[in-house]
Amino acid sequence: MDFTELLAFKKSFSLAMEIFYVSKSFPKEEKYSLTDQIRRSSRSVSANIAESYRKRRYVKHFVSKLTDSEGENSETNVWLQFALNCEYITIEKFNELNEQNKEIGKLINYMINNPSKFGCSEN
């Protein structure tokens, strides 16, 4: 299996793309702050999942990169909250993106707690 087939990767990549399109409507003055931060953190979720999968030969490396991914996913949630409170997104859009974010967190945690199901061997 390739990392692109992992459900956590697919869903995190999809959320990052949706955030990219939504953030295009953020004010210009947010370009180097909120817009940049939310795009970076959301993209890092997928990137860290990919890295973790390539490092699955060693459980600690696998879990470490997934923990980074989990952290980036939480950071993305904070930026979504800022976007809502700054009125850059509607409550409906926030709820939709927030639910996706929570689901991704659960998938990442499942991977962290079940490394052997993803090809990790105890070395």
Q: Answer whether residue 2 is part of any domain.
A: no
Residues 6+ apart with CB under 8 A from 120: 56, 57, 58, 59, 62
Q: How far apart, in whole angstroms, are the C-alpha atoms of residue 49 and residue 108?
A: 8
Largest separation between any pair of C-alpha atoms in the chain: 50
* Whole-structure pTM value: 0.94
Q: How far apart, in whole angstroms, are the C-alpha atoms of residue 107 and residue 9?
A: 9
Domain limits for position 85:
7-118
Q: Answer whether residue 104 is part of any domain.
A: yes
pLDDT digits (tens, 9 = 90+) for 80-96: 999 999 999 999 999 99
Contact 100, 8 (CB under 8 A): no
Task: Evaluate if residue 122 carries a pLDDT over 80.
Answer: no
Count of the separate structural domains present in the chain? 1
pLDDT digits (tens, 9 = 90+) for 48-57: 999 999 999 8
pLDDT digits (tens, 9 = 90+) for 17-49: 999 999 999 999 999 899 999 999 999 999 999
- Structure tokens, 45: 């979720």
Burial of 24 (0-12, 13-18, 19+ CB in 10 A): exposed
CATH, residue 54: 1.20.1440.60
> What mean pLDDT value characterizes the chain?
95
pLDDT digits (tens, 9 = 90+) for 102-119: 999 999 999 999 999 998
